Structure 1
Amino acid sequence: MDALELLTSRRSEKKLAEPAPNKQQLEYLFQSALHVPDHGKLNPYHFIVIEKEGLAKFEKLLESVVDEFDLGEERLRKAKSIAYRAPMVIAVIAKLNEEIKKVPTWEQELTAGCATYAMQLAAKAQGFDNVWITGPWVNGSELRKAFKCEQQDKVVALLLIGTAGEKLERDKKILDTDSFISYLE
Structure 2
Amino acid sequence: MDALELLLTRRSNKKLVAPAPQGEQLDNILQAALHAPDHGRLTPYRFVIIEKQGQDVLEQLLQSAVEELNQGEERKKKATDVSHRAPMIIAVIAKINNEIGKVPGWEQMLTAGCATYAMQLAANAQGFDNVWVSGPWIDGSELRQAFGCEAQDKVIALLMLGTAEQKLEKAKIHDVSPYVSYL
Task: Check whether TM > 0.5.
Answer: yes
Match of 2:181? 182
Q: Contact 2:133/2:159 (CA < 8 Å) preserved in 1? A: yes
| 1:102-141 correspondence runs (5 A) | 102-141=102-141
1:46-57 to structure 2, matched below 5 A, reads 46-57=46-57
Q: Residue 165 of structure 1 corresponds to which residue in structure 2? A: 165
Cα offset, 1:172, TM superposition: 3.4
C-alpha deviation, 1:171, in angstroms: 3.2
- Structure 1 length-normalised TM: 0.97
Runs of 4+ with >3 A deviation: none
Mapping for residues 1-185 of structure 1, pairs under 5 Å: 1-168=1-168, 170-184=169-183
Structure 1 position 15, deviation (Å): 1.2
2:22 corresponds to which letter in structure 1?
Answer: N
What count of residue pairs does the alignment treat as equivalent?
183
CA distance in 2, matches of 1:61, 1:7: 34
Question: Percent identity over the alignment?
Answer: 64
**3-state SS, counterpart of residue 158 of structure 1:** strand
Please give the alpha-carbon distance, in whole angstroms, between the structure 2 residues aligned to 1:38 and 1:171: 32
Cα deviation, 1:17-56, whole Å, max 9, x if unaligned, reads 0000012111001110000110000000000000011111
Q: Over residues 72-116 of structure 1, what are the superposed CA-to-partner deviations in whole Å (9 max), with x where a residue is unaligned?
A: 111111000000000000000000111100000000000000000
Distance of 2:171 and 2:45 partners within structure 1:
33
CA–CA separation in structure 1 for the residues paired with 2:160 and 2:116: 11
1:167 and 1:3 map into 2 onto residues whose CA distance is 20
Which segments of 5 or more consecutive residues in structure 2 lack a partner in the other structure? none
Q: Does the Cα contact within 8 Å between 2:69 and 2:137 map onto a contact in 1?
A: no
Which moved further from structure 2: 113-122 or 149-158? 149-158
Amino acid paired to 2:91 = A
SS in 2 for 1:163: strand
- CA-CA distance at 1:137 after TM superposition: 2.0
Retained in 1: the 8 A contact 2:55–2:83? Answer: yes
CA distance in 2, matches of 1:165, 1:172: 17
Superposition CA RMSD, Å: 0.7
What letter matches 2:99 in structure 1? E
Distance 2:28 2:173 in 1: 29
Contact 2:21 2:162 in 1 (8 A): yes
The question of whether the paired residues in 1 share the 8 Å contact of 2:50 and 2:89 is answered with yes
